[in-house]
Structure 1
Amino acid sequence: MTAARGRTGRPPLTEERKAEIRLEIARAAVDLFVTQGVAATTGEQIGQAVGVSARTVWRYFPSKEACVRPLFTAGIGMIAARLREWATGQSLEDIFAPELTADLGVVAGPERGAVGALVRLTRTEPDLRAVWLQTYDEAEPVFARALAERAGLPADDVRPAIQAAMFNAALRAAVEHYAWRTADAEPDRATAEAELTATLRSALAVVAAGLG
């Protein structure tokens, strides 16, 4: 008899490490898209910026535009949790204070400084815009379930679905409004954060009456 041969090679990646790699790829893609454009960016370049092969990039994402998706989706779960915990009599704006841009600015972490430039690219890059809009399509039912739980309504009730659609549209409109308005000159990060915060506050104030 011979002893069973031990398993060789690298241990499998944990889900946490896979998520970290996706985020690293997303950050690299954002930097390249903003600095040199989507058309000029290749999967090889994105991989090189992270220290992985293009094959690894395609293992995680079906296209170069899809690489930014983790940044667009990062806040969905947190926003839903805030909506679920929204107390009666509390303003919609207050549940996301004080880090309003971190909570609602869509692009996560230090990449928020490039939010205007990245969102502006969705205006001229159809595949990138498809990823942007898909993010909101996926977020809306998550927000609807959170609002239904908050109100003690069935998950299939139309009222939280409509409320979620209003809230979701307000977020997208606010971020796009900010991006289009700063198209001529991207402000410094502190100014950008302040302007985006002000725009998001205005959007929440407008939609709050409808959400009740």
Structure 2
Amino acid sequence: MTNRDGRTGRPPLTERRKAATRLEIAREAVRLFTANGVAATSAEEIAAAAGISARTLWRYFPNKESCVEPMLTAGIDMTRRALGTWSPGGGVAGLLDELERNNRRSVADLPVLLDLVRLTRTEPGLRAVWLRAHADAEPVFAAEVGRGAGLPGEDLSVRVRAVMINSALRVAVEHYAFHTDPAHADEAGVIDAVRAALLTVDRGLAE
């Protein structure tokens, strides 16, 4: 992991604490939004559920909808790590292997993530956060794909590959969340959906 000051390795304790606090806020926000809806949930309620003051919450997030961002960026960071160790020559099979290996770190939050994705179908504010997170991820993914291919992240072919991977992952998770009974959702199902989406990308437009 690269820290804000450019060093690699584990981030300082204060950064880890901030990240843990942000993630706990996200979990509580999703729980309250799922139970009560976004409109009926206040920032003060989210803060109280996370065990912090409303003033502290506003230091982390500009509005209540953005409180869910850490739940999304965790998955994006997992994908970035997978792309960083993936060689394009390994094809979709190699990328799937890297995604599955890195996904083991975030399995505990999978039910919360799926709850959030379901909410994006009916809550426009959360949909905007979800789409913005993926838009922000594209140059990050392109940089990793380009590094593996020996090309700059701004290269057109690299950007297109990054967009295809990003879109495939987003659509796969949405499809699984929207069409799976929450009581039966599991990691294996998500992985199968991602595999099907990436294999579709690999086959291209010929079919």
Normalising by the smaller structure, the TM-score range is: 0.7 to 0.9
The counterpart of 2:196, out of the listed 191, 202, 205, is 202
Quote the Cα distance in structure 1 between the aligned partners of 2:28 and 2:142: 32
Unaligned residue ranges in structure 2 (runs of 5+): 1-12
- Aligned-residue offset at 1:209: 4.2
User: What's the counterpart of residue 127 of structure 1?
Assistant: 125
Q: In the alignment, residue 162 of structure 2 is paired with which amino acid?
A: A
Is the CA contact 1:101–1:197 (under 8 Å) kept in the aligned structure 2?
no
Matches within 5 A, 1:71-82: 71-82=71-82
Quote the Cα distance in structure 2 between the aligned partners of 1:38 and 1:156: 37
User: What's the counterpart of residue 44 of structure 2?
Assistant: 44
Over 3 Å counting, the alpha-carbon distance change for 1:101 and 1:121 in structure 2 is: farther
Over 3 Å counting, the alpha-carbon distance change for 1:67 and 1:136 in structure 2 is: same
User: What's the counterpart of residue 171 of structure 2?
Assistant: 173
- Aligned-residue offset at 1:110: 2.3
Larger CA Rg, structure 1 vs 2: 1
Is the CA contact 1:80–1:142 (under 8 Å) kept in the aligned structure 2?
yes
Is the CA contact 1:113–1:193 (under 8 Å) kept in the aligned structure 2?
no
Q: Deviations over 1:142-164 (max 9, x none)?
A: 11111111111123211100111
- Is the partner of 2:39 in helix, strand or coil? coil
Is the CA contact 2:142–2:158 (under 8 Å) kept in the aligned structure 1?
yes
Q: Deviations over 1:91-118 (max 9, x none)?
A: 42444438639639xxx45221133332
Identity %: 49
More deviation, 130-139/116-125? 116-125
Quote the Cα distance in structure 2 between the aligned partners of 1:127 and 1:77: 22
Is the CA contact 1:100–1:197 (under 8 Å) kept in the aligned structure 2?
yes
Quote the Cα distance in structure 2 between the aligned partners of 1:45 and 1:135: 24
More deviation, 151-160/94-103? 94-103
Q: In the alignment, residue 14 of structure 2 is paired with which amino acid?
A: T
User: What's the counterpart of residue 4 of structure 1?
Assistant: none
Unaligned residue ranges in structure 1 (runs of 5+): 1-12
Q: Deviations over 1:20-66 (max 9, x none)?
A: 21111111111111122212211111111111111211111011110
Q: In the alignment, residue 21 of structure 2 is paired with which amino acid?
A: I
Quote the Cα distance in structure 1 between the aligned partners of 2:83 and 2:114: 25
How many residues align structurally?
191
Q: Which has the higher contact order (CA 8 A, sep 6+)?
A: 1
* 1:187 is aligned to 2:148: no
TM value normalised by structure 1: 0.80
Over 3 Å counting, the alpha-carbon distance change for 1:109 and 1:64 in structure 2 is: farther
Could you say which structure has the higher helix fraction?
2
Quote the Cα distance in structure 2 between the aligned partners of 1:16 and 1:63: 22
Over 3 Å counting, the alpha-carbon distance change for 1:154 and 1:196 in structure 2 is: closer
Over 3 Å counting, the alpha-carbon distance change for 1:132 and 1:34 in structure 2 is: same
* 1:115 is aligned to 2:109: no
Quote the Cα distance in structure 2 between the aligned partners of 1:131 and 1:143: 18
User: What's the counterpart of residue 7 of structure 2?
Assistant: none
The counterpart of 2:159, out of the listed 157, 161, 169, is 161
- Is the partner of 2:182 in helix, strand or coil? coil
- RMSD across aligned C-alpha pairs, in angstroms? 2.3
- Is the partner of 2:52 in helix, strand or coil? coil
Over 3 Å counting, the alpha-carbon distance change for 1:93 and 1:40 in structure 2 is: farther
* 1:144 is aligned to 2:120: no
